[in-house]
Amino acid sequence: MAAYEKLVKQYDRQVFRIANHIVQNREDAEDVVQDAFLKAYQKLNQFQGNSKFYTWLVRIAVNESLMRLRKRRTGKMVSIDEDVETEEGSMPRDLADWSPDPEALYGQSEMADILRRTIQGLPPGFRVVFVLRDVDGLSTEETAETLGLSIPAVKSRLLRARLQLRERLSRYFKRRDLKPAQAQDGVK
């Protein structure tokens, strides 16, 4: 049990983060953390050891989060593929450059609020790919394995997630000294 406690302490913050990104509700995320660690403990003998413990745990947490969403939506099926067929983000529209130090424009809690609201606007299947690849630092292959997606699907979602986030953050971070016409001109 002491060894498992060590694993809980090592990965609890990441699991809490992933759960929050999917369920977007703190109480549900707390439940997901508990259920995911309990389920992982019960299934420890099924852990093959050919993937990292963390990717195996995240797979359990993602499934628990989706189940939680389903419950909230009274049984409606929820999948990681939901709403991914959007065309938004395939071509940048807001081409204004950003302020040289956008983080200095806002206080820490205001910044966290902006980042939360911005990423919450993305479909869950984009959010979770972005978080696993770009925030948690998993490889494309690990992200694909964790989410049960193909590598091309992970790559395509990651690109669109990055571009959509960039586009949405531009509202907050763009340089104020450029006129829109100057910034929008000249796409080939």
Contact residues toward other proteins (CB under 8 A) are: 1, 4-5, 8-9, 12-13, 16-17, 20-21, 29-30, 33-34, 37-38, 41-42, 90-92, 95-98, 102-103, 108, 111-112, 115-116, 119, 130, 134-135, 155, 158-159, 162-163, 165-166, 169-170, 173, 186-188
Nearer Cβ to other proteins (79/90): 90
Least distance in angstroms from the C-beta of 136 to other proteins: 9
Nearer Cβ to other proteins (81/94): 94
Q: Which residues pair with 174 in a beta bridge?
A: 98
Reduced DSSP (H G I as helix, E B as strand, rest coil) percent helix, strand, coil of the chain, to 5: 70, 0, 30
Task: Please give the Cα distance from 8 to 153 (Å, whole number).
Answer: 30
What six digits make up the tokens of 36?
């995911």
Least distance in angstroms from the C-beta of 83 to other proteins: 20
Least distance in angstroms from the C-beta of 134 to other proteins: 5
Task: Please give the Cα distance from 89 to 170 (Å, whole number).
Answer: 13
Least distance in angstroms from the C-beta of 186 to other proteins: 6
Residue with tokens 């998993």: 138
Nearer Cβ to other proteins (59/172): 172
Instruction: Give the DSSP per-residue string, 99-165.
Output: PSSGGGGS-HHHHHHHHHHHHHTS-HHHHHHHIIIIIS---HHHHHHHHT--HHHHHHHHHHHHHHH
| 37: Cα within 13 Å, side-chain hemisphere | 19
Nearer Cβ to other proteins (79/178): 178
Nearer Cβ to other proteins (50/107): 107
Least distance in angstroms from the C-beta of 181 to other proteins: 13
